[in-house]
Amino acid sequence: MSAAAAAGTWKLGDLEVNRIGYGAMRLTGNGMMGNSDGTPIDRDVAVGLLHSAFEEGVNHIDTASFYFSPLRSANELINRALSSWSGDVVVVTKVGPGRDPSGEWLDTVRPDQLRGQVEENLRQLGRDCLDVVNLRAGGPRTASIAEHFGALADLREAGLVRHLGLSGVLPEHVLAAQKIAPVVCVQNSYGLDWRRADESGLVDLCGEQGIAFVPFFAVSGLRREAAAGQEHDARVHSVADAHRATPAQVRLAWTLHRGPHVLAIPGTRNPAHLAENIAAGSLRLTEEELALLDKPDEGTD
């Protein structure tokens, strides 16, 4: 069994993936806007990192055409890596937000502009059909996604997209979208320190509907795109010490324990962190440890 398969598998529609995947946002820098002026990651190093992930069983990559810095594009790096890889890898991208070539964020995209964004991903990834496309909503306060999701459903019928998902949504958005076309995954910010998707019932709804729930910022939490820093949660340190694991591994394991439909897409440019993230899939937390992590943090160490 590969390392990434230790946590089991889940199906995105008819595409079976290991529950430990990889998020490509950090490949071009520290997030979508940070670190853009720093030294870009070497292309061969980036491709090697992706190949290392594939070799460990990672077969689910999360990306977007708007993941780029002045000299690097996540989609381009993934394209290069997949062109020299013989195995099957499911690539999940997202549309909705957009940036101009200089990196400036554009106004909210209209439904009729989604085809252009899908085609942009097709060109960059070198694909004729995208495995999964997530509609990134304008945020939980978005009133309706029906028109935008309907436009993507039309592209699915046209053969440009295989499966559809959602990102940054509430339960009512999922239910509305399901009436238009099948939803195979939902991506929302979620982790030990950010439990809005529990409070809204979204995680449970996805499980009931057979939809993958794919949290982002599961490790960084409220730090979001910020670089990984020192762990200050005493609960996490306690569990990590008991398993001789890292705090990041404990945070990922806690997320995966939330349900068999919950996937993980941690991203990194560090080969050692990549190996640690993948190994988190084999970490089994006890009921007592899960209860401890669910208690309020009692301080730092």
Query: Cα dihedral angle (100, 162, 168, 215), rounded to 10 degrees?
Result: -110
Which of these, 83, 15, 25, lies nearest to 54 by C-alpha position?
Answer: 83
d(CA 263, CA 265): 7
Asked if 213 and 168 count as a contact pair (C-beta separation under 8 A), the reply is no
The catalytic position among 10, 54, 67, 68 is: 67
Assess contact for 236 and 283: CB atoms under 8 A: no
DSSP letter at 24 equals -
67 is catalytic: yes
Q: At what angle do helices 146-157 and 171-178 cross, to 10 degrees?
A: 40
Give the Å distances, CA to CA, from 256 to 96, 100, 190, 213, 214. 27, 36, 11, 10, 10
How far, in Å, CA of 25 to CA of 75, rounded?
A: 10
Catalytic residue list: 67
